[in-house]
């Protein structure tokens, strides 16, 4: 029976084609992982949650929960070779368990749509700063000027709405053409270029005179500032930045060639992604302190600190333009992966063309995105539960749906798939495999559940 299954999987092909090489896959997943989460989100959530202790918890979550869950997603994807919904139904059945696991895939598809609805708005914001940079808006600007520029952009729903529209059109365009074409080239050039420019910025922030303060803020853990809510935020951030918990990586895994090592690919992606986030923090916090800004300022943090830095350096217009172009690219390659599970599902399940599927899903996401567009201006006072529409979407997806998705994916890989199936995909059965299995069977599910229950106050304090 088991050996039959193995040959079945070997023959199974994805409808959407396969990555041309191991490198192409690593680049695509890196393109998905590296995005606004690293450069826009990481610094501001770390800032809001007090710095050091948050960063430490985040790194721990990446290592002991994020990595194993990422490996699980890739191996599930490759074994099923379909969209996340169909893959989980198929594997659930094949292992003699239940087809109902498809609902986990379904939650992921919805999660991706919800995340992209606001991700696209921030992506559009990034795009608009390319134009502001070219126009020299930031040249010689002070803190008051860049803050005013940000506020006038956010206050103008037509401007944000237009850039949100452009960003969605760009995303639909690539997804409609198929993930392999174009994406590989874009990422191959974008990730190294982004890294290089971050290093230029790092040089600048080292010279800002406040590098020590930035370093201390990021790496001196003050556990008194750590609440269970910030632990949950750190865990959510780990999921978000690695693109896991909703099937993006699972969808990409479905196109992975048989011989590629899942462990090595995951490690490479996690390393690249974490380095870029840490680098972003090292660039931004010294600038925050040098300019007397508040690290807990929120979603506008990068859009204030970086223009300020660019405005004061020589060649600032050039660097600033390139930087926002690269960041838009990074956001674009992430957005594509947020849409892929839904589009793959529509293509496979509804037998629609890729173009039509991408346009339909794109339209739904665009409409939802209008809610976020308006939460920065017209509806900024319209608050419920966690705040504005944007804040609610952000909380629902990152702090609830992704950890829950990650928990269920870990349970699926650790308990539903039998030992042989996973050993077969991971191509080994030694100590590293045992470690992975302990992490997905016990550490990840219990850890996620614990943080979850703690943050909603369902577990009492021991002290
Ligand atoms: N990881 C991306 C970023 O850091 C965002 C992203 C892409 C994502 N695909 C995802 C987040 C899937 C969660 C799930 O910007």
Q: Please write the tens of the pLDDT for every residue from 138-180.
A: 999 999 999 999 999 999 999 999 999 999 999 999 889 876 6
**Which ligand 1 atom is nearest residue 249's CA?**
12
- How high is the mean pLDDT of the chain? 92
* In the predicted structure, residue 69 carries a pLDDT above the cut 60: yes
CA distance 138 to 245: 38
Report the b/e string of 367-379 with b at 16+ CB within 10 A.
Answer: ebbbbbbbbbbeb
* In the predicted structure, residue 287 carries a pLDDT above the cut 80: yes
If you take atom 12 of ligand 1, which residue's CA is the nearest one? 243
> Residue 436 has which token pair?
């992975």
**Cα of 115 to ligand 1 centre, how many Å?**
8
Backbone angles phi, psi at 237, to 5 degrees: -60, -40
**What's the pLDDT at 463?**
47
CA distance 205 to 182: 34
First to last CA, the chain: 52
**What's the pLDDT at 192?**
82
Every domain of the chain and the residues it spans: 2-455
Kindly indicate the confidence band of residue 282, based on its pLDDT and cuts at 50, 70 and 90.
very high
CA distance 431 to 17: 33
Question: Which residue, chain included where needed, has tokens 């690919």?
Answer: 265
* In the predicted structure, residue 244 carries a pLDDT above the cut 90: yes
- The answer regarding whether domain 2-455 maps to CATH 3.30.310 reads no
Mean pLDDT along residues 427-442: 90
Kindly indicate the confidence band of residue 457, based on its pLDDT and cuts at 50, 70 and 90.
confident
**What's the pLDDT at 1?**
31
* In the predicted structure, residue 2 carries a pLDDT above the cut 70: no
Mean pLDDT along residues 3-31: 73
Cβ-in-10-Å burial (0-12, 13-18, 19+) of 123 comes to buried
By most ligand atoms within 8 Å of CB, the mutation choice from 32, 247, 328, 335 for ligand 1 is 32
* In the predicted structure, residue 3 carries a pLDDT above the cut 70: no
* In the predicted structure, residue 312 carries a pLDDT above the cut 80: yes
Cβ–Cβ under 8 Å, residues 126 and 378: no
Kindly indicate the confidence band of residue 182, based on its pLDDT and cuts at 50, 70 and 90.
low
Query: Is the distance from the beta carbon of residue 337 to the nearest atom of ligand 1 less than 6 Å?
Result: yes
> Residue 429 has which token pair?
């059965």
Closest CA to 35 of 112, 154, 123, 133: 123
**What's the pLDDT at 169?**
97
The pTM of the full predicted model, rounded to 2 decimals, is 0.95
If you take atom 9 of ligand 1, which residue's CA is the nearest one? 243
If you take atom 10 of ligand 1, which residue's CA is the nearest one? 243
**Cα of 219 to ligand 1 centre, how many Å?**
24
CA distance 361 to 351: 14
Cβ–Cβ under 8 Å, residues 288 and 47: yes
Cβ–Cβ under 8 Å, residues 157 and 378: yes
Closest CA to 143 of 327, 321, 294, 317: 294
* In the predicted structure, residue 43 carries a pLDDT above the cut 60: yes
Cβ–Cβ under 8 Å, residues 338 and 116: yes
């Amino acid at each position: 029976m088991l050996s039959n299954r193995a040959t079945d999987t070997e023959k199974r092909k994805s409808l959407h084609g396969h990555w041309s090489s191991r490198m192409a896959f690593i680049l695509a997943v890196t393109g998905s992982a590296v995005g606004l989460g690293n450069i826009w989100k990481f610094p501001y959530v770390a800032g809001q949650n007090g710095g050091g202790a948050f960063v430490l918890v985040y790194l721990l979550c990446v290592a002991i929960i994020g990595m194993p869950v990422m490996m699980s997603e890739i191996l599930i994807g490759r074994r099923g070779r379909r969209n996340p919904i169909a893959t989980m139904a198929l594997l659930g059945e094949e292992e003699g368990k239940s087809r109902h696991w498809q609902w986990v895939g379904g939650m992921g598809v919805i999660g991706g749509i919800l995340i992209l609805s606001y991700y696209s708005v921030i992506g559009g914001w990034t795009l608009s700063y390319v134009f502001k940079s070219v126009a020299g808006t930031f040249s010689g600007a002070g803190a008051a000027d860049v803050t005013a520029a940000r506020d006038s952009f956010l206050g103008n729903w037509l401007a944000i709405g237009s850039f949100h529209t452009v960003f969605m059109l760009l995303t639909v365009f690539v997804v409609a053409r198929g993930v392999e074409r174009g994406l590989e080239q874009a990422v191959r050039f974008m990730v190294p270029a982004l890294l290089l420019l971050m290093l230029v910025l790092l040089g600048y922030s080292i010279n800002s005179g406040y590098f020590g303060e930035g370093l201390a803020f990021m790496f001196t853990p003050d556990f008194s500032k750590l609440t269970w809510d910030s632990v949950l935020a750190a865990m959510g951030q780990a999921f978000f930045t690695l693109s896991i918990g909703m099937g993006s990586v699972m969808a990409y895994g479905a196109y992975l060639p048989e011989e590629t090592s899942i462990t090595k690919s995951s490690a490479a992606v996690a390393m690249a992604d974490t380095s870029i986030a840490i680098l972003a923090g090292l660039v931004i916090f010294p600038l925050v302190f040098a300019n007397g800004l508040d690290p807990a300022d929120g979603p506008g943090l990068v859009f204030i600190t970086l223009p300020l830095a660019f405005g004061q350096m020589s060649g600032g217009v050039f660097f600033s333009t390139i930087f926002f172009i690269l960041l838009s690219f990074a956001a674009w390659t992430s957005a594509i992966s947020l849409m892929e599970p839904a589009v793959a599902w529509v293509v496979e399940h509804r037998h629609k063309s890729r173009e039509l599927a991408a346009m339909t899903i794109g339209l739904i996401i665009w409409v939802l995105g209008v809610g976020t567009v308006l939460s920065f201006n017209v509806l900024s006072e319209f608050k419920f539960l966690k705040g504005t529409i944007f804040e609610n979407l952000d909380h629902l997806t990152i702090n609830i749906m992704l950890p829950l998705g990650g928990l269920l994916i870990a349970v699926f890989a650790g308990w539903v798939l039998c030992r042989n199936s996973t050993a077969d995909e991971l191509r080994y059965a030694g100590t590293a495999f045992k470690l992975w299995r302990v992490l997905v069977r016990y550490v990840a599910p219990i850890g996620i559940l614990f943080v979850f229950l703690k943050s909603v106050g369902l577990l009492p304090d021991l002290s």
